Amino acid sequence: MTATPIPRSLAMTVYGDLDVSIIDEMPPGRTPIETKVFGEDQRAEVKQLIAREVSAGRQAYVVYPLVEESEKIDLRDATQRYEYLRDKVFPKLTVGLVHAK
């Protein structure tokens, strides 16, 4: 069992006593969120896009599969990438780290 919200909710729905709710519309007045997926070969384009959007007063979120480095899985982690993005890529922007750990 995991403490992360989505897998825990799924497990509780299947094995526990949770009801399923379907949210099929945005709240009134809510601006739609645009989600994009980029490959490694588009890294420079992503950096430019984030800088442009933040300069325009918007927000950008970069999602990593791990909070901290793992010996079992060879994936990038949010903690180290946060420091890299804050110090090397976007030193003039406000960069934050959010996770549920």
Please state the rounded mean pLDDT for residues 60-78. Answer: 81
Would you say residue 3 lies in a domain?
Answer: no
Instruction: Provide the mean pLDDT of the chain.
Output: 83
Question: Considering the domain boundaries, does residue 45 fall inside one?
Answer: yes
Is residue 66 one of the residues assigned to a domain? yes
Look at residue 1 in the predicted model and tell me its pLDDT.
39
pLDDT of 32-46, one tens digit each? 888 888 888 999 999
- Kindly state whether residue 98 falls inside one of the protein's structural domains: no
Average of pLDDT values for 56-70? Answer: 84
Domain-located, residue 12 = no
Interval 65-93 mean pLDDT: 86
Q: What is the number of domains present in the chain?
A: 1
Beta carbons of 80 and 90 less than 8 angstroms apart: no
**Residue 97 domain-assigned?**
no
Tokens read off for 75: 């994936």
Is this prediction's pTM over 0.85? Answer: no
Domain assignment present for residue 35? The answer is: yes
Indicate whether 95 belongs to any domain: no
Higher pLDDT, 34 or 81: 81
Expressed as residue numbers, the domain containing 75 is 27-89
Q: Quick check: 62 and 85 in contact, CB under 8 A?
A: yes
